[in-house]
Structure 1
């Protein structure tokens, strides 16, 4: 379980941070063109926290991994469209894109491992 807590830290930590600075979260949603921010902010927070909990508890962890993989994939065109930035900003966003692809791969591996662990428990 400890490994799953650490693995999901970036997600549940972000979710808690968005709750702690809710005004900032609303501003962030607006800055990325997600309107109305009052709809998107709770959806983002819920996604981050619920998906993390599913993984940590290894209950429908495949679903939590899938939720976070889709979330990470969607942040690329919304927050890191490297193709739309001039250099050197484009390079920075391209590196973030690469990191996001790696995280998606890690979530796929986690889904497989959590599923195997669940099967062994039965």
Structure 2
């Protein structure tokens, strides 16, 4: 089954959109990014804010514009970041009522993002598979 390269890129772009948006927003409002990190108890908040920006924007660049191990690395970094951020920021098990329900929904949505990044990493590392690097190289040679 052949899927056009553009569809693969569009799928990766969709997964990266929240991270790119968040990273750019934090970059443009660094004091707000620091306040967010302080809110979640991250010390020192300036360092964590800077790291979040680098991870979000760097991971997106790797996923969108690199191949093979670099793409897989970016996807794994974003997946790991999402796991950590979700456990810290969406601790539904500490809540009750409607707040628990809304936070659980967000937690589960983030789990779906992690699954998407795992699929990107697997696809990027699988030589000759659907959408794999070998197939892309063959398309470019034609």
Q: State the TM-score, normalizing by the size of structure 1.
A: 0.91
CA deviations over 1:78-106 (Å, ceiling 9, x no partner): 10000011211111111111101111111
Q: Please say if residues 58 and 114 of structure 1, whose CA atoms lie closer than 8 Å, have aligned partners that are also in contact.
A: no
Unaligned runs of 5+ in 2: 1-5, 127-131
**Which consecutive aligned stretches of 4+ in structure 1 deviate over 6 angstroms post-superposition?**
none
Q: Which has the higher mean CA deviation after the structures are superposed, 110-119 or 33-42?
A: 110-119
2:48 corresponds in structure 1 to 40
Give the whole-Å Cα distance in 2 for the aligned partners of 1:49 and 1:39.
Answer: 16
Give the whole-Å Cα distance in 2 for the aligned partners of 1:76 and 1:6.
Answer: 19
1:6 corresponds in structure 2 to 14
Equivalenced residue count is 122
In the alignment, does 2:105 pair up with 1:90?
A: no
1:119 corresponds in structure 2 to 134
Shift of 1:119: 3.3
Which structure has the greater CA radius of gyration? 2
Q: State the TM-score, normalizing by the size of structure 2.
A: 0.79
Q: Please say if residues 15 and 116 of structure 2, whose CA atoms lie closer than 8 Å, have aligned partners that are also in contact.
A: no
Q: Please say if residues 58 and 118 of structure 1, whose CA atoms lie closer than 8 Å, have aligned partners that are also in contact.
A: no
2:111 corresponds in structure 1 to 101
Root mean square deviation of aligned Cα: 1.6
Give the whole-Å Cα distance in 2 for the aligned partners of 1:7 and 1:91.
Answer: 23
